[in-house]
Amino acid sequence: MRWIRRNLLVIAGLLTLAYMILPNIVVMVFSFNKPQGRFNYAWQQFSLDAWKDPCGVADLCDSLSLSFQIAAWATVGATVLGTLIAFALVRYRFRARGAINSLIFLPMAMPEVVMAASLLTLFLNMGAELGFWTVLIAHIMFCLSFVVVAVKARVMSMDPRLEEAARDLYAGPVQTFVRVTLPIAAPGIAAGALLAFALSFDDFIITNFNSGSTVTFPMFVWGSAQRGTPVQINVIGTAMFVIAVVMVLAGQFLSSRRKNNAQPQ
Amino acid sequence: MTVTDAPPLAPSPAQPPVRKASTRRRLVPYWLLLPGILWLIVFFALPLAYQASTSVQTGSLETGFQVTWHFQTYWEALQEYYPQFVRSLLYAGTATLLCLLLGYPLAYMIAFKAGRWRNFLLVLVIAPFFTSFLIRTLAWKTILADSGPVVDVLNTLHVLDVTSWLGWTDGSRVLATPLAVVCGLTYNFLPFMILPLYTSLERIDGRLHEAAGDLYATPATTFRKVTFPLSMPGVVSGTLLTFIPASGDYINAELLGSTDTKMVGSVIQSQFLRVLDYPTAAALSFILMAIVLAMVTVYIRKSGTEDLV
């Protein structure tokens, strides 16, 4: 009993963690299921069928590749636009700074459904054809603010003396930017880009409103919840999970080794 | 979401003698801002204006919509759909509270007790993100299935009798009840609570805890007087990051709930995409926006962390 009381915090924390991981485990286990009927909600029988043929369901891999394309372009767009804004906000004083800060904050402080609906109103009024381009425009719009926040945090903590030093050593403005400023800001930009990719790839609400008949991966999963969920969805989910976790852990392992090597023996 | 002002830049040592060059320099920030801000104005601010105009239009798809300043749409929409509004705020509020209660111990543990497991635990917190959240939400259908282990256990412990009596569940079912929706909302937004909490807890100087101990504070007092107040920025941004998206969410309500658990997001979605009653849909989403912005403003004022946003 005493042991429980002393470790209450750790127990509570681990329970929360279990709550968070449980669905991922269920997704993984059910990727080996052989369901009866259209839905994959009850365990029937072990099978590797879905793993052998992950693209065996019509349109699934098309939607996946479409989501990748949109996420990639949205990342490029949002990262470029967001990085420029972040630099302007941190490095320069100018009028309308307050207004611009609010304009950047508001998309994050608004329920997504409001943004989605208003964008659709705009597109309908303009007579735009809903599809790839409207989804891409929308994704760049809502990823932008997150990139700005991520890059700003990094640029703000940057020591301005490093750039002064570069100038003192007769580096031109371009050289200073490319050789000093950009490398220091890079982790912030990378974090912003990763966030944008993840947000865009996984977005449902804004895509649901503005995609017309275009089917991204989240849209495919949504549709499958009504029509019948193929096991392949669980396979894709599991594969994404495993690949990402391995990549993160490998990255951490490499960076900790580099840190150890950098230390004098 | 911090907006601290950067230190003013030292004037560059070599002031160009020509006036033209300095004008050009003064324009630099505007050129940097132009493309991104233009994007936000055209695809964020302008759409809101369009929606405002749509909300005071009348007409139908066949005859077209005209601005008639028909503000009654707001009143009618509110009258017809106030149960969904109340439900949305109630579910989102409950989920936010649960996220705080569940997330705080975990964030605290990672920040102070994890030692060399810290990075690994952080990866585990972010890891669920890597699987599409719709797939994970569908997994809750399996977890909460009618004759599944979770429902069996809750039934045996007579928990479901209590929750049914409270109206959270329906007989021996969990799926398609408020409990399932709140459970899904809590699950989906937990990482958004944990990460800000962790960031602000991690910044706390461990010596403050020692000092509190030296001054004979019990662990509970230390938490109440030192740790929790210092973690307030994390609590505020965590609750906002959880409550705002949860209030407009319709995915959990649609996948895990029933028609009795519909949230306002579902109504907006179906008015816009199925019923095609644009004025009502626009009015509904404006009301939601107004409620959320008002609540957020009051909340930030009350919690005294205005510099947070």
Q: What is the pLDDT of residues A101-111, one digit of tens each?
A: 989 989 988 99
Predicted structure pTM score: 0.88
Residue A265 Cα, gap to closest chain B Cα (Å): 22
| Banded model confidence at residue B210, pLDDT cuts 50, 70, 90 | confident
Residue A258 burial by Cβ neighbours in a 10 Å radius (0-12, 13-18, 19+):
exposed
Q: Are A233 and A224 in contact (CB under 8 A)?
A: yes
Q: Are A139 and A200 in contact (CB under 8 A)?
A: yes
- From the list A239, A119, A109, A14, the residue with the least C-alpha distance to B130 is A239
Chain B residues with CB under 8 Å of A162 CB are: none
ipTM of the complex: 0.89
Helix locations, B203-277, DSSP H: 206-214, 219-222, 228-230, 232-248, 251-256, 264-270
CA distance A245 to A261: 24
CA distance B214 to B131: 46
Per-residue pLDDT tens over the stretch B257-290: 998 899 999 999 999 999 899 999 999 999 999 9
| Overall average pLDDT of the B186-213 stretch | 92
Residue A117: other Cβ atoms inside 10 A: 33
- From the list A152, A155, A159, the residue with the least C-alpha distance to A101 is A152
- Partner residue opposite A117 with nearest CB, options B123, B127, B268: B268
Q: What pLDDT score does B21 carry? A: 61
CA distance B118 to A222: 35
DSSP state string for A166-211: HHHTT--HHHHIIIIIHHHHHHHHHHHHHHHHHHHHH--HHHHHH-
Q: Does B18 touch chain A (CB under 8 A)?
A: no
Q: Tell me, rounded to whole angstroms, the distance of Cα B247 from its chain centroid.
A: 7
Rounding to the nearest 10 degrees, give the CA dihedral for residues B184, B187, B188, B189. 120
Chain A residues with CB under 8 Å of B182 CB are: none
Low-confidence ranges of chain A (pLDDT < 70): 262-265
- From the list B101, B98, B121, the residue with the least C-alpha distance to B111 is B121
Q: Does A62 touch chain B (CB under 8 A)?
A: no
- Partner residue opposite A103 with nearest CB, options B1, B45, B190: B45
Residue B80 has pLDDT above 70, yes or no: yes
Q: Does A93 touch chain B (CB under 8 A)?
A: yes
CA distance B41 to B214: 55
